[in-house]
Amino acid sequence: MKKEQLKYIGCGAFVLAAVAIILARPFAGLQTPGHNMLGIMLVSLGIWIFKPFNLSYAMGGLFLALAALVQGLPAEVVFTGFTQSALWTLLPALFFGYALQKTGLGHRIALGIMKLCHASYASIVVAWAVIGVVLSMLTPATTMRVAIVIPIAAQCCELLKLQKKSRGNSLIMLTAFAMAMIPGSGWLTGVIWGPFIQGLYDAVPALAGTITFNSWASVLFLPTMLVTALLVLGSLLFMRPKEKISAEAMRELKAQQFDKPSRDEMITMVILLVSFVMFVTGQWHGISMMVLCLAAMLLFFVTGVLKPVDFNAGVNWDIVVFIATSQSLGAIFNATGVSVWLGEIAVPALAPIAGSPWLFMFGVVIFLFIWRFVDVAMFVPTVAILVPVLPAVQAAYGISPLVWLPIFMFAGNAFFLCYQNVWAMISRTLAGDRAWQPKHLTSYGTIYFVACMVAMVFGVLWWNHLQLF
């Protein structure tokens, strides 16, 4: 059966399920508006997952908004996500990545770090980890980071004369992709997930203000760095190539010359570094991240680093609309009674494992890693549906909503297969004939899963210390 036919069959199944729920109203305790909202949500999920008629993520979100308005929900509820401060933190921050790419500063940073490497896989893999951390400090735009590092990684493999489809080629390409995505999860502005999840939390009255730069870092920074280190170590232990890297090839890589840094590069570096310092020191100066991000964005345009034409080119507006409409789900679910109904299901379902932090964390994370084979819409729908339930879980079992952040991040970054992770798909496309072998991606994704499980052992001890259980 053709892939195109599977899209329509899959989406059609979601639509039929939605119609059945709306007409039959099978769930006791859920009123008509709630049943209607569940049906609408299923249709949106069908669009997000299968993309029939080549519909974009934004179209699924706009269908959700339109159907909710037709049902009679107020516009201020339906479009809550567009008024959240988190969106206006995310939107300017996406231009940070565009500025890195446009000015060539990201390329200069990545290649400059690569020039410090020795002729060994260990040195190169560690260099990519450093590149990932540095670029994550400068922009949360994972797509832009991938767009910067993957061409450089492919060029690196070419200069090192690695065989295409070899384990060595795959190791370097996979490391570049993963390090552009994973290390930034440790702080709020290091990955697109941060402002998005902050917006979801703020849309739920009981969770508003829970996520700040410091609260995110206190829960996730150390476990994320541990996952990063374990992934680097695990890949070198279990995917280490047999072919050697020649010293001569490494010298050729280092011989590449840089042009003198341009005015735009220097301005971009200053703006991004000052912004990150201001993010980290927010508890002392009290200026919100939204204000800082908007001010930095304005400076990019005022200084001429970005031009008016870049306003449309610099941001993927499809993803922005998708995220904004998804952030409205909490308010929509609250208004239609879906949140209460989901809480009545989720709270008893978690009872067998909620009494033990160890069972709870490992049980939920493993389940969501498996669920990632189904939710391929960037994991956004799953997170958006779960967040409104977290206050009920906290009330029943004393589990802090902050504990869910590593759960969302670890599972959200999963990549056993390419289709599960949008940044894996983008990376593979950008890499061209230098892309990794699918079996190597599965091996690398398995190492990532094991790294998350090991990091969770430390994490549970740390989160217990923070009294989050």
pLDDT of amino acid 375? 83
pLDDT at 118: 86
Asked if 434 contacts 165 with a C-beta cutoff of 8 angstroms, the reply is no
What token pair was written down for 237?
């232990």
Looking at 87-101, 352-366, 403-417, which range is the least confident one?
87-101
In angstroms, the Cα distances linking 73 to 17, 76, 87, 342 are 22, 8, 21, 19
* Inter-residue contact 219 to 403 (CB < 8 Å): yes
- Tell me the pLDDT tens digit for each residue of 192-231: 889 889 989 988 889 999 999 999 999 999 999 999 999 9
Give residue 386's pLDDT: 92
Give the 3-state DSSP-derived string for the chain, with helices as H, strands as E and coil as C.
CCHHHHHHHHHHHHHHHHHHHHHHCCCCCCCHHHHHHHHHHHHHHHHHHHCHHHCCHHHHHHHHHHHHHHCCCCHHHHCHHHHCHHHHHHHHHHHHHHHHHHHCHHHHHHHHHHCCCCCCHHHHHHHHHHHHHHHHHHCCCHHHHHHHHHHHHHHHHHHCCCCCCCHHHHHHHHHHHHHHHCHHHHCCCCCCHHHHHHHHHHCCHHHCCCCCHHHHHHHHHHHHHHHHHHHHHHHHHHCCCCCCCCHHHHHHHHCCCCCCCCHHHHHHHHHHHHHHHHHHCHHHHCCCHHHHHHHHHHHHHHCCCCCCCHHHHCCCHHHHHHHHHHHCHHHHHHHHCHHHHHHHHHHHHHHHHHCCHHHHHHHHHHHHHHHCCCCCCCCHHHHHHHHHHHHHHHHHHCCCHHHHHHHHHHHHCCCCCHHHCHHHHHHHHHHHHHCCCHHHHHHHHHHHHHHHHHHHHHHHHHHHHCCCC
Q: What residues have CB less than 8 Å from 63, skipping those under 6 apart?
A: 40, 43, 44, 47
Confidence bin at 158 (pLDDT 50/70/90): confident
Token pair of 429, please? 């496309």
- Residue found under tokens 């800082």: 292
- CA Rg value for the chain: 22
Q: Does the structure show a pLDDT above 70 at 452?
A: yes
**Model pLDDT, residue 1:** 59
Does the pLDDT value for residue 334 go beyond 90? no
Give the tens place of pLDDT for each residue, 54-101. 888 889 889 999 999 999 999 999 998 888 887 888 788 888 888 988
Q: Are 441 and 174 in contact (CB under 8 A)?
A: yes
Query: How many whole angstroms separate alpha carbon 262 and alpha carbon 104?
Result: 9
Question: What pTM was estimated for this model as a whole?
Answer: 0.88
Identify which of 101, 99, 98 has the alpha carbon closest to the alpha carbon of residue 110.
101
Average pLDDT over residues 162-189: 94
